[in-house]
Amino acid sequence: MPKLGVNIDHVATLRQARYLGLLDSPNCEPHTLEAASACERAGAEGITVHLRADRRHIQDQDVFRLRNSIITKLNLELGNTSEILETALQVLPDEVCLVPESRQEVTTEGGLDVVKNAKNLRKTVERLQAAGIRVSMFIEPMGEQIVAAADLGTEAVELHTGAYANATPEFREDELERLRAAQKLATEKGLIVNAGHGINYDNVRALLGIKGWNEFNIGHSIVSRALFVGLENAVRDMVRLLKE
């Protein structure tokens, strides 16, 4: 059964909508620490946050405080820039997932181009690993990206499931097949294989037909369901599906 990592960025999105620049206000809510511990109580085995260069949701203080309070695993997503890298090296998360990032995007679009950016990524991977941080890369389910990530000595990859999640019914099976082939290749390369982006309570079922996943990182669908059933129940519902 894949583990569940919950991405709580959108808890911070809701907070920032009202308390931008007012994080020390006594009324400030919802709290990322409370969200993380609710997820952990409900069976999540990791908490993921993305510290974006524009700080649109998660702030530096969230990450430092989460580091001290999380009892499972902190996975920090970051773009490969020196400013964010220095912060990661101070926070010392259990794992870093390197992602592509552009200011205009609504959410992470596409995977990291490891082939094209191998030189810059190599230095970052080395620095993170020297600090004892496990490194993952968020990549498209493509053979050349998997081989390039393995060549850089990264421990894990997270396969981008967005194309599968957004595919019309006629293309869904093709996208699943791409994920299946990529999962197999990455496993053969000795990588830990995670998946994420656009996974919800419906499309997760077919993904589970592919064996060998280590972890699913899921954010938007869980936080959305939490509005109606509460965060612990939303996480529990997903954990139940993963166990089926």
Give the residue, chosen from 63, 97, 142, 159, that forms a contact with ligand PXP under the rule CB under 6 A: 97
**Are 190 and 212 contacting, i.e. CB atoms less than 8 angstroms apart?**
no
Nearer to ligand PXP, 77 or 175 (CB): 77
**Is 50 an interacting residue with respect to ligand PXP (CB under 6 A)?**
yes
For residue 131, give the amino acid letter: A
The set of catalytic residues is 50, 77, 197
Which of 26, 27, 46 is CA-nearest to residue 222?
A: 46
CB of 77 to ligand PXP, least distance (A): 5
**Is residue 232 classed as helix, strand or coil in its secondary structure?**
helix
Please tell me the distance from the alpha carbon of residue 145 to that of residue 141, in angstroms, as a whole number: 8
CB of 111 to ligand PXP, least distance (A): 9
**Is residue 171 classed as helix, strand or coil in its secondary structure?**
helix
**Is 79 an interacting residue with respect to ligand PXP (CB under 6 A)?**
no
For residue 164, give the amino acid letter: Y
Q: Which stretch binds ligand PXP (CB under 6 A): 23-31, 195-203, 226-234, 235-243?
A: 195-203
Continuous H helices in 96-230 = 118-130, 143-151, 162-166, 169-188, 204-207, 220-229
Count, residues near ligand PXP per rule CB under 6 A: 19
**Is 166 an interacting residue with respect to ligand PXP (CB under 6 A)?**
no
Give the residue, chosen from 65, 122, 220, 236, that forms a contact with ligand PXP under the rule CB under 6 A: 220
**Is residue 234 classed as helix, strand or coil in its secondary structure?**
helix
HEC-encoded secondary structure of 11-77:
HHHHHHHHHCCCCCCCCCCCCHHHHHHHHHHCCCCEEEEECCCCCCCCCHHHHHHHHHHCCCCEEEE
CB of 199 to ligand PXP, least distance (A): 6
Give the residue, chosen from 43, 46, 79, 198, that forms a contact with ligand PXP under the rule CB under 6 A: 198
Q: Which stretch binds ligand PXP (CB under 6 A): 22-30, 39-47, 191-199, 203-211?
A: 191-199
Which of 50, 58, 43, 61 is CA-nearest to residue 1?
A: 43
CB of 59 to ligand PXP, least distance (A): 16
**Is 218 an interacting residue with respect to ligand PXP (CB under 6 A)?**
yes
**Is 6 an interacting residue with respect to ligand PXP (CB under 6 A)?**
no
**Is 63 an interacting residue with respect to ligand PXP (CB under 6 A)?**
no
**Is 66 an interacting residue with respect to ligand PXP (CB under 6 A)?**
no
Q: Which residues bind ligand PXP (CB under 6 A)?
A: 7, 9, 50, 77, 97, 99, 107-108, 138, 158, 196-199, 217-221
